[in-house]
Amino acid sequence: MKPGRELAPPPFARMAADPLRWRLLRELALSDRRVRELVALVGEPQNLVSYHLGRLRAGGMVTARRSSFDGRDAYYRLDLTRCGQLLAEAGASLHPGLAFDPAPIIAPKAPAPKPCAVLFLCTGNSARSQAAEALSRVRSDGQVQSFSAGSQPKPLVHPSTERVMAARGIDLTGQRPKNLSEFARRRFRYVITLCDRVREVVPAFPGDPTLVHWSMPDPAAQEDDPSAFELMADDIETRIRFWLTSIGVPANPVRS
């Protein structure tokens, strides 16, 4: 490189350098959010928050989808996998020795974590929350006590949920949809909603658990997409791996 030649900073550096965008990234790393929620969390005007969300979306770091509860709302989500790729590219652009493969997700070495109980919720408890319960239990090697329920549970677990879980080496035989009222008195460290509708009716649980929202479409409602359940399982698999890392639990590799 010739002396004095200027190169533009890589995309991740440009995006993350802005203090407000960095705050938005940090908030979305914890949970999917609506604009009004982000406005309250960062304490900035809605038009400014919306502008920076637009920049993050254009940069491929954040995605948005319409709420299945209220189509006037949209949930914003941080694409952690894409952020990892951009961060790797930023390191390599500074010096070849800083290039790394962002694919492995490894929890930091730490003392054995305290037992962690998590409740996954969706409306019917026949697809998304069942998959999340099973994946978190198996990928954590049982270090996470996982449960799932629904606000309006279906009679049976959806056969396609059983199929995509079986493809990952997980047998759902014996699992049944449950009403969230069955867990009203139980303490959890985390309550994770995977459905925009159920998020609106989540009751208060003892112990003030951390509430997290993953805005995901119902695969059973996408009859015209034969890959809907596979996409659901892939999405939850990724979410679970990143979530386990955030709570200090090593995630087992995907089995197929």
Residues 6+ apart with CB under 8 A from 235: 216
Closest CA to 107 of 241, 236, 255, 211: 241
The rounded distance, in Å, linking the Cα atoms of 77 and 235 is 12
Cβ atoms 249, 113 nearer than 8 A = yes
Residue of 239, 137, 245, 143 whose CA lies nearest to 192: 239
Comparing CA positions, the residue from 216, 214, 234 lying closest to residue 135 is: 234
Nearest 5°: the CA angle 237, 251, 128 is 25
The pLDDT of residue 197 = 95
The radius of gyration of the chain from alpha carbons, rounded to an integer in Å, stands at: 20
Beta strands at 210-213 and 190-193: parallel, antiparallel or unpaired: parallel
Predicted local confidence at residue 224, as pLDDT: 81
DSSP classification of residue 28: H
Q: How far apart are CA 173 and CA 163, in angstroms?
A: 11
What pLDDT does 200 receive? 94
C-alpha–C-alpha distance, residues 235 and 241, integer Å: 10
N-terminal to C-terminal alpha carbon distance within the chain = 46
**Strand bridging mode 144-150 / 116-122:** parallel
CA angle 107, 38, 46 (to 5 degrees): 150
Q: How far apart (Å, rounded) are the C-alpha atoms in residues 78 and 56?
A: 9
Residue by residue, pLDDT tens for the chain (256 residues) are: 455 456 788 889 989 999 999 999 999 999 999 999 999 999 999 999 999 999 999 999 999 999 999 999 999 999 999 999 998 888 888 888 887 665 455 545 455 456 799 999 999 999 999 999 999 999 999 899 999 999 999 999 999 999 999 999 999 999 999 999 999 999 999 999 999 999 999 999 999 999 999 999 999 998 788 899 999 999 999 999 999 999 998 877 655 4
pLDDT for residue 77: 97
